[in-house]
Amino acid sequence: MKSGVTMNLSMTEVLCDTSLFEDHFCSPTTVKNLRGVPTQVLQKVMLELHQHTACNVFASPRTWTPAGSEQCIVVAGSLGIDGRTRGNRIGLCVDRQPDDKDDPGAIYLWTNTALVNEITADGLVSHNFAKMWVNWRSLGETRPEKYLRLSVPVAQKNNSGWNVSFDSDIGELIAFLTALRGRYEPKPATSKALSSTLKLFGHSDGAITPAIIDAYRHPDEDAPDTDAEFDQPKPKSVVRNLGRSKQALLKSPQPSDAYTGNAREVIIRRFEAHSLFSAQPTMPPAPSVPFMDTAFRCLNLDPEPFQAAGLYGIFFKVTAAQTPSLIYVGLYRNGKVGSGPVFGGNVLRDRWVKHIATCSMRGANVGIGKRTAQTMRLDPNHDFAALGEPNVAELIVKDTGCNAGENRALFAKGQWSVLRDATGKDILPLFSFSYVRLSAFHGVEGDDGIRRRVSAAEDRVKKELAPICNGETLLGQHKTHVTPEQFETSATLALSA
């Protein structure tokens, strides 16, 4: 969360702040289904939509059938305890189907036919209101249309950018949206079920966003290490989409060193953490873990250097005079086998920002597994003993999407004299990264073949270099003083094997 923003955020606060909107409103599916439309445009649309409907529950469904049709960006409906929206709903979509090559040029409002009929029958809008909609997404060739799409977009791209407007109908649309006030308030049981996820994000129960629902429905995702009970490596984060928008303001990252051995094979670049992230103070998840008080966020950087498939190493040094030493090896391949284009994504956003939080154990959004909590309680005189306290465990002994395995927590514990009282700005210079990525011209393999190659290469490098923070490394058997050059040589050979 942004420095200065208190906990218990309302939907209005989330929608009005660009950083909060990107981090706390948008889920990965939200951004995916925008198809390249800037998130600031969606933010303006959502502000308008929320102003009229006062709706505080929005989701971004991962699956929206039929799969070949326009995918839903955001939907509002009756939220069940399982995190699904049902009933007569409204939502947003772009004007492109998934297989279209052109970028979207508009955002449209859609709704159920039954909802339009109901509000018209109640006399809240005129019968001419139905003429503003076109049939959309029938249940079958011989069955009636279940959904309607507004004929005029609520956001449209033109030569000067994007224009957002809900005023094309002389008030009929506004009257329709206003009639939805109070319709989608969650039931007490649903609010109770979501309470821990809302608390993790610092939201009130009146700020249920796509990011909240995605984290609630898919709590087993994005665990970082195989030694944690939540560890199934995935590309997305719970506190997500960091530094994703503001394309016009993107800065080019400044690698501390860069080398391209063969442009048709690998590209090697090094980065200092302080050039990639901001680190701001924020409220810890519980008073007894005051050290978990930092919000790490990606800076608005050109994503190109962080795309494609490859291996990365994380390095740590205590002083500026020291040579950085390898502490972690990871892979990036923009999803699993069958996930789509491998030369895309953003390792900075999807991986590295979480590694800083977990390897330092200073991130406010860090979660741990039961075994890690139990291990930390074995040393009652250390700050980390509080991680196993019942009032803390209910908040962080779960998959938060930013999880620290036992090895990471033990690494941070070993460096606690440096990390404990450091400010966020003090922490960042301690970490650096090396990214050995395959060139987009690499060989003739398909995306899934490249993903398998990268996965096999990661296994080889982790076994060879035994970094302390990787879950596969046995305690006490890690290697020390592995330099960036040594990692880059090992990764290059493994990727070429």
| CA distance linking residue 440 with residue 458, whole number of Å | 19
CA nearest neighbour of 153 among 311, 44, 10: 44
Q: Is residue 314 predicted with pLDDT exceeding 90?
A: yes
The total of other beta-carbon atoms located within 10 Å of residue 102's CB is 8
The answer on 272 and 200 residing in a single domain is: no
Find out whether the peptide bond into 66 is cis, omega within 30 degrees of 0. Answer: yes
Owner of token pair 């506004």: 174
Reading the block at residue 174, the tokens are 């506004």
d(CA 151, CA 418): 60
C-alpha closest to that of 117 among 154, 148, 93, 79: 148
Q: Which two tokens stand for residue 466?
A: 């035994």
In this predicted structure, the answer to whether residue 316 has a pLDDT above a threshold of 90 is yes
In one-letter notation, the amino acid at residue 247 is: Q
Instruction: Write down the mean pLDDT value for the chain.
Output: 84
pLDDT of residue 245: 34
- Let me know whether 202 and 316 are in one domain: no
pLDDT over 90 percentage in the chain: 53
For residues 222 and 151, give the distance between their C-alpha atoms in angstroms, rounded to a whole number: 39
The yes-or-no verdict on residue 44 having pLDDT over 60 is: yes
Cα dihedral 243→247→248→253 (10° resolution): 60
Does 303 lie in the same domain as 160?
no
Same domain, 164 and 257: no
Q: Residues with Cβ < 8 Å from 466, sequence gap 6 or more? A: 473, 477, 478, 479
* Residue 233: pLDDT over 60: no
Q: Would you state the torsion angle of the CA atoms of residues 392, 398, 399, 402, taken in this order, to the nearest 10 degrees?
A: 20
**pLDDT class for 263, splitting at 50, 70, 90?**
very low
Which of 202, 217, 232 terminates a domain? The answer is: 217
Cα–Cα distance measured from residue 22 to residue 334, given in angstroms and rounded to the nearest whole number: 20
Residue 226 belongs to some domain of the structure = no
- Higher pLDDT pick, 155 / 147: 155
Q: How far apart are CA 278 and CA 275, in angstroms?
A: 8
Residue range of the domain that includes 77: 11-217
Pick from 338, 419, 330, 413: nearest CA to 372: 413
pTM over 0.85: no
Shared domain for 202 and 332, answered yes or no, is no
* Shared-domain flag, residues 280 and 407: yes
Last residue of a domain, one of 217, 238, 258: 217
d(CA 447, CA 268): 20
Q: Return the residue matching tokens 């953003």.
A: 346
- Whether 258 and 200 map to the same domain: the answer is no
pLDDT mean over 34-40: 91
Mean pLDDT is highest, among 104-108, 240-244, 339-343, for 104-108
In a domain, 316, yes or no: yes
